């Protein structure tokens, strides 16, 4: 078991100095996000996270959700926690005020979502999936659909799901077979979906399934897929909940982690077809799904940040309490907490520095979403959208890969106790392990980054990003202090490496796509490291300036500088060494498959 305290000071620093929330709060539709409101939101959210959600994390893992006679029972306390979450208005935070949302900027919602996921990832998955449903309906729903479903989904009284996967259709969504047949004003849906997160549960009055299915005579593949809204209970014209629809949960998966989150097999139409409503146009379901996916990918990346923070706090608290032997740093005889051992410090700093880099990247990207939506200048909006499109796969894959690594370091710091389930450190590792897989595997993110984001504009968006990073590098060059000087050489070499790899990718991808894709995962990792490192350097410059002007807590600001320096020495320095893996695809592609 472990406690969780939302790292509000670190979050605020990232919001202000990395994402630029001050500038965002001056954009149209974002004016609410005054410093006072931001503080109030963070502090209230932190209370719910620490006081209600975090204590249920271990219980959720131990009990899991259970299927009993077609009904899914969430773990003890979850229903009540969800009630508090809804009543506090938390679900409505980022959504359009037109349908009852609070309309706060994405960047602030991102910080709050980090808290839910750090406190209790198994719980947070329910609202996380809901976001996708709201976004799909907001973008593609009819006015009637919006009127009937959005207010309840936004308040959280009802929850939403995403139904893509079937046994034969995982990453290859186009292979799905669920059918939709017109039946008067609606459709009848028949088929089986798997891996449906919170596909059935007892925390909300109704569940709104967004389901990909094929119309009769639809073209094969992804061009023949349409999106349908299939409520658990059919909704009457006055918005009241009506008859039970023909969809049921037939089993739950027995998973490595996120036990609290019910992963359902859903059967649609066993009794004649579930009532469904078309969302958007026929055969354009994939586009609607992509609307949901882009932000969902950011949010899954954020789960990597969140679980890393949780694991870090858990390991740090243990290292402060666990007395074991005399470290070489000890001046006097006796025994000391293990936090004094040099290698334990190294592990903690590796957790912390990478968590902060991930947070910087996630919040920065969320801020870019706000600018892309609300900036008055169209060119700036377009430029910020390019930045978002480029970085979304990096946030998703880099942060979730690191989430697993960092949770694993957390286990290690606990020593033998880390392997005992009672301790709770292992849960973080088990929970973290799903994030590189769902919402598009990290391999798919890498292919997306190279195949779509890099090659389609021939590296234009990446070149803009590189130019921004070089600006940070020049500012480092001009800034004083030993710690800044300790960051700069690694960052400069890392930016060069990313520049080199980007040029290579753009050239090679055009001529020999498989060769380029064989290096795409390493390229994504490089971009994550360099962008994360550049953003930490930007933070270090701000911290240095704060120290100089006597703004804020000196020790806090110095720790920011040292964290950036540690990241430079331990992570940024490894960036140039990734280039041969990126450009070495020939070895990968020519290896004799029979000999694997």
Nearest-approach distance from CB 377 to a second copy, in angstroms = 38
Nearest-approach distance from CB 514 to a second copy, in angstroms = 5
Which among 128, 54, 59 has a CA at the least distance from the CA of 93? 128
Nearest-approach distance from CB 430 to a second copy, in angstroms = 8
Nearest-approach distance from CB 132 to a second copy, in angstroms = 17
DSSP element (H, E) containing 545: helix 520-549
What's 125-188 look like in SS3? HHHHHHHHHHHHHHHHCCHHHHHHHHHHHHHCCEEEEEECCECCECCCHHHCCCEEEEECCEEE
> How do strand 206-213 and strand 158-163 relate by DSSP bridges?
parallel
The residue (of 102 and 557) whose beta carbon lies closer to a second copy is 557
Instruction: Please give the backbone phi and psi of residue 213, each rounded to the nearest 5 degrees, phi first.
Output: -150, 170
Q: How many CB atoms lie within 10 A of CB 40?
A: 11
The residue (of 160 and 403) whose beta carbon lies closer to a second copy is 403
- Cβ burial of 205 (10 Å; 0-12, 13-18, 19+) is exposed
How far apart CA 151 and CA 39 sit, in angstroms, is: 26
Q: Cα angle vertex 491, ends 486, 496, to 5°?
A: 145
The residue (of 67 and 562) whose beta carbon lies closer to a second copy is 562
Is 68 a catalytic site residue? no
Looking at residue 459, the DSSP 8-state letter turns out to be T
3-state secondary structure of 96: coil
What residues have CB less than 8 Å from 555, skipping those under 6 apart? none
**Residue 166: beta bridge partners?**
169
Nearest-approach distance from CB 211 to a second copy, in angstroms = 18
In sign, the C-alpha dihedral spanning 282, 284, 288, 289 is positive
Tokens 């700036």 found at: 380
Which among 548, 484, 524, 468 has a CA at the least distance from the CA of 20? 468
The residue (of 461 and 568) whose beta carbon lies closer to a second copy is 568
How far apart CA 270 and CA 301 sit, in angstroms, is: 36
- Cβ burial of 388 (10 Å; 0-12, 13-18, 19+) is buried
The residue (of 83 and 255) whose beta carbon lies closer to a second copy is 255
Which among 168, 202, 197, 180 has a CA at the least distance from the CA of 296? 197
As given in the structure block, the two tokens for residue 287 are 């586009």
Nearest-approach distance from CB 413 to a second copy, in angstroms = 9
As given in the structure block, the two tokens for residue 38 are 């931001």
Which among 14, 73, 21, 12 has a CA at the least distance from the CA of 39? 12
Q: Cα angle vertex 313, ends 366, 109, to 5°?
A: 20
**Residue 206: beta bridge partners?**
158
DSSP element (H, E) containing 302: helix 285-321
Nearest-approach distance from CB 210 to a second copy, in angstroms = 18
Nearest-approach distance from CB 187 to a second copy, in angstroms = 27
**Annotated catalytic residue: which of 17, 166, 405, 439?**
439
List the end-to-end C-alpha distance of the chain, in Å, as a whole number.
42
Nearest-approach distance from CB 533 to a second copy, in angstroms = 12
391, 362 Cβ separation under 8 angstroms: no
As given in the structure block, the two tokens for residue 228 are 């349908």
Nearest-approach distance from CB 495 to a second copy, in angstroms = 15
46, 5 Cβ separation under 8 angstroms: yes
Active site residues: 439
């Amino acid at each position: 078991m472990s406690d969780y305290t939302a790292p509000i000071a670190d979050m605020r620093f990232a919001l202000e100095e990395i994402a630029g929330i001050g500038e965002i709060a001056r954009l149209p539709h974002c004016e609410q996000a005054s410093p006072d409101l931001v503080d109030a939101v963070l502090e209230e959210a932190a209370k719910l996270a620490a006081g209600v959600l975090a204590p249920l994390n271990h219980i959720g893992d131990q009990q899991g959700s259970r299927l009993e006679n077609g009904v899914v029972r969430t773990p003890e306390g979850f229903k009540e926690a969800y009630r508090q979450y809804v009543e506090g208005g938390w679900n409505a935070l980022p959504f359009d005020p037109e349908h009852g949302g609070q309309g706060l900027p994405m960047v602030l919602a991102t910080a709050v979502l980090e808290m839910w996921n750090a406190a209790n990832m198994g719980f947070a998955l329910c609202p996380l999936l809901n976001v996708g449903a709201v976004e799909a309906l907001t973008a593609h729903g009819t006015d009637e659909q919006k009127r009937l479903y959005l207010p309840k989904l936004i308040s959280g009284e009802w929850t939403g799901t995403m139904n893509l996967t079937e046994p034969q259709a995982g990453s290859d969504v186009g292979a799905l077979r669920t059918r939709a047949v017109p039946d008067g004003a609606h459709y009848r849906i028949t088929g089986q979906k798997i891996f449906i997160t919170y596909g059935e549960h007892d925390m909300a009055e109704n569940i709104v399934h967004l389901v990909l299915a094929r119309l009769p005579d639809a073209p094969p593949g992804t061009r023949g897929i349409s999106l349908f809204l299939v409520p658990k209970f059919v909704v009457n014209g006055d918005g009241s909940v009506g008859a039970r629809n023909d969809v049921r949960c037939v089993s739950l998966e027995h998973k490595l982690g996120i036990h609290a989150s019910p992963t359902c097999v859903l059967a649609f139409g066993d009794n004649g077809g579930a009532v469904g409503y078309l969302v958007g146009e026929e055969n354009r379901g994939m586009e609607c799904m992509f609307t949901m996916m882009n932000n969902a990918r950011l949010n899954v990346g954020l789960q990597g940040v969140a679980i890393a923070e949780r694991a870090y706090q858990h390991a740090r608290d243990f290292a402060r309490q666990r007395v074991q032997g005399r470290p070489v740093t000890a001046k006097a005889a006796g025994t000391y907490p293990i936090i004094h051992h040099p290698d334990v410090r190294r592990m903690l700093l590796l957790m912390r520095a990478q968590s902060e880099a991930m947070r910087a990247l996630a919040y920065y990207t969320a801020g870019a979403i706000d600018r892309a939506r609300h900036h008055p200048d169209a060119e700036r909006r377009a430029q910020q959208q390019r930045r978002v499109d480029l970085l979304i796969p990096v946030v998703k894959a880099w942060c979730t890969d690191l989430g697993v690594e960092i949770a694993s370091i957390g286990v290690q710091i606990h020593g033998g106790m880390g392997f005992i389930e009672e301790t709770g450190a292992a849960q973080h590792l088990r929970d973290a392990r799903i994030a590189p897989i769902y919402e598009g595997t990290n391999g798919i993110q890498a292919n997306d980054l190279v195949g779509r984001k890099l090659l389609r504009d021939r590296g234009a968006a990446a070149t803009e990003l590189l130019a921004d990073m070089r600006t940070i590098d020049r500012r480092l060059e001009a800034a004083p202090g030993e710690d800044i000087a300790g960051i700069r050489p690694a960052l400069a070499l890392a930016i060069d490496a990313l520049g080199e790899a980007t040029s290579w990718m753009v050239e090679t991808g055009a001529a020999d796509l498989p060769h380029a894709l064989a290096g795409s995962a390493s390229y994504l990792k490089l971009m994550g490291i360099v962008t994360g490192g550049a953003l930490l350097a930007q933070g270090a410059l701000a911290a240095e300036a704060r120290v100089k002007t006597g703004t804020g807590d000196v020790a806090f600001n110095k720790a920011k500088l040292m964290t950036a320096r540690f990241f430079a020495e331990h992570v940024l320095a490894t960036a140039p060494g990734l280039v041969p893996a990126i450009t070495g695809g020939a070895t990968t592609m020519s290896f004799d498959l029979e000999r694997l």
